[in-house]
C-alpha cells in the first residue's frame, strides 16, 4: 500500500450498528474514555490539568494534546477506571496508540505540529508521569499512517475473529480493499521486522504483531475446538449406527429362528 492511499479513521468504518464491532474493548475505550472531553473538575477521571505550556500547541489541536496527556496518566496510575474492559497497561497502551493515531489523521495534524506534541510531552513526562511506560518513539506522520492501517486490521480481527467472517462482513463496503491491503502489509512487515529493530519495527513487534498473533491463536483454537466437537459427533453417530445395525441383525436372527 502506498503512502498516498487513503487511510480510514474509526468513524469512517460503517460498522456501528454491528454489536460485535462496536462493543470491542478498543472501541468502547476509544469512544467512552479516551475521547471524553476534558473536565474542569479535578476529582473527575476526565479532568485535564491546566498548564500554560499548552499554549505551545495550536488552538485547534490543544484539546487533543490535553486528552493525550490525561489518558497517558490514567493508563499508568488509575487503571481501575477501565476495570470492566482492560487493566493490563501494555494493552491499554496499545489501545491508546490506536486512539491517538486515529485522531492525528482525522484532525489532519501536520508533521511540524506532531513534532511539537512529542517535544512538549518528552520535556514534561519526567515531571508529570515518571512511571509512564507507554512510549511514542515514532516521530513521522508518514510512518504512523503506515502503521495505522495494520492497527485497523487488528480492529476487524478483534471484532469478527475469523478472516472468513471479516470478508463476509465487509465484502460490499468501500473499505474492503483497504483492510485487505492492510492484511497483506501486516504479512510483509512481519518478514521485514524480523530482521530490523528501528522505531517502526519495535512498535510493530511489541504491539501489533503481539496482539494480532493472540487473535490468530484464538481463531486457531476455535477451529481446533470445532474440529474436536465434529470428531466427537462423528464418533457418536458411528456408535449409534453400529448399535442400530446390531439391533437389526439381532431382530433378523430372531425372525429367522422363529419362522419355520
Rama region for 19: left / alpha / beta (φ>0; ψ in -120 to 50; rest): alpha
Task: Tell me the pLDDT tens digit for each residue of 57-85.
Answer: 999 999 999 999 999 999 999 999 999 99
Top-confidence range, 15-19, 134-138, 215-219: 134-138
CA 123-127-128 angle, 5° bins? 95
Tens-digit pLDDT profile for residues 135-159: 999 999 999 999 999 999 999 999 9
d(CA 88, CA 203): 17
Above 70 in pLDDT, residue 223? no
Residue 142 corresponds to which cell in the numbers above? 508518514
pLDDT at 220: 37
Can you give the pLDDT at residue 5? 78
Instruction: Render pLDDT for 170-206 as a digit per residue (tens, 0 to 9).
Output: 998 999 999 999 999 999 999 999 999 999 999 999 9
User: What distances in angstroms separate CA 32 from CA 10, 19, 155, 174, one per listed residue?
Assistant: 14, 15, 16, 26
Residue 136 contacts residue 121 (beta carbons within 8 Å)? yes
Q: What is the pLDDT of residue 140?
A: 96
Give the residue-averaged pLDDT of 15-24: 85
On the question of pLDDT at 256 being above 90, the answer is no
Residues near 26 by beta carbon (within 8 Å), at least 6 away in sequence: 95, 98, 154, 155, 158
Is the pLDDT reported for residue 229 higher than 70?
no
Per-residue pLDDT tens for 102-140? 999 999 999 999 999 999 999 999 999 999 999 999 999
Mean pLDDT, all residues of the chain: 88
What pLDDT score was predicted for residue 233?
Answer: 64
Angle between helical axes of 141-160 and 176-193 (0-180°, round to 10): 110
CA distance 224 to 92: 29
Residue 173 per-residue DSSP state: S
Check: CB of residue 153 under 8 Å from CB of residue 214.
Answer: no
Tell me the C-alpha distance between 162 and 83, whole Å.
27
What does the radius of gyration of the chain's CA atoms come to, in whole angstroms? 26
Assign 198 to helix, strand or coil: coil
pLDDT value of position 221? 40
How far is 138 from 110, CA to CA, in rounded Å?
14
Contact 46, 37 (CB under 8 A): yes
Helix H, strand E, coil C: the string for 92-146 is: HHHHHHHHHHHHHHHCCCCHHHHHHHHHHHHHHHHHHCCCCCCCCCCCCHHHHHH
Residues 28-44: what's their mean pLDDT? Answer: 94
Question: How confident is the model at residue 251, as a pLDDT?
Answer: 78
Cell 448399535 identifies what position? Answer: 243
Amino acid at each position: 500500500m502506498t503512502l498516498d492511499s487513503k487511510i480510514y479513521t474509526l468513524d469512517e468504518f460503517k460498522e456501528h450498528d454491528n454489536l460485535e464491532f462496536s462493543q470491542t474493548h478498543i472501541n468502547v475505550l476509544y469512544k467512552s474514555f479516551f475521547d471524553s472531553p476534558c473536565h474542569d473538575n479535578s476529582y473527575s477521571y476526565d479532568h485535564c490539568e491546566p498548564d500554560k505550556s499548552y499554549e505551545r500547541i495550536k488552538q485547534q489541536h490543544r484539546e487533543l494534546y490535553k486528552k493525550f496527556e490525561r489518558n497517558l496518566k490514567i493508563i499508568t496510575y488509575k487503571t481501575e477506571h477501565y476495570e470492566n474492559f482492560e487493566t493490563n497497561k501494555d494493552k491499554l497502551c496499545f489501545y491508546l496508540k490506536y486512539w491517538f493515531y486515529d485522531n492525528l489523521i482525522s484532525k489532519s495534524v501536520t508533521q511540524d505540529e506532531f513534532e511539537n506534541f512529542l517535544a512538549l510531552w518528552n520535556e514534561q513526562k519526567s515531571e508529570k508521569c515518571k512511571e509512564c511506560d507507554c512510549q511514542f518513539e515514532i516521530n513521522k506522520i508518514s510512518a504512523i499512517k503506515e502503521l495505522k492501517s495494520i492497527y485497523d486490521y487488528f480492529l476487524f480481527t478483534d471484532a469478527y475473529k475469523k478472516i472468513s467472517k471479516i470478508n463476509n462482513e465487509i465484502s460490499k463496503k468501500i473499505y474492503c480493499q483497504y483492510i485487505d491491503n492492510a492484511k497483506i502489509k501486516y504479512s510483509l512487515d512481519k518478514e521485514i521486522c524480523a530482521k530490523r529493530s528501528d522505531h517502526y519495527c519495535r512498535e510493530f513487534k511489541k504491539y501489533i504483531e503481539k496482539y494480532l498473533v493472540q487473535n490468530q491463536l484464538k481463531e486457531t483454537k476455535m477451529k481446533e475446538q470445532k474440529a474436536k466437537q465434529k470428531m466427537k459427533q462423528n464418533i457418536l453417530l458411528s456408535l449409534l449406527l453400529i448399535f442400530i445395525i446390531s439391533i437389526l441383525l439381532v431382530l433378523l436372527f430372531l425372525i429367522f429362528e422363529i419362522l419355520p
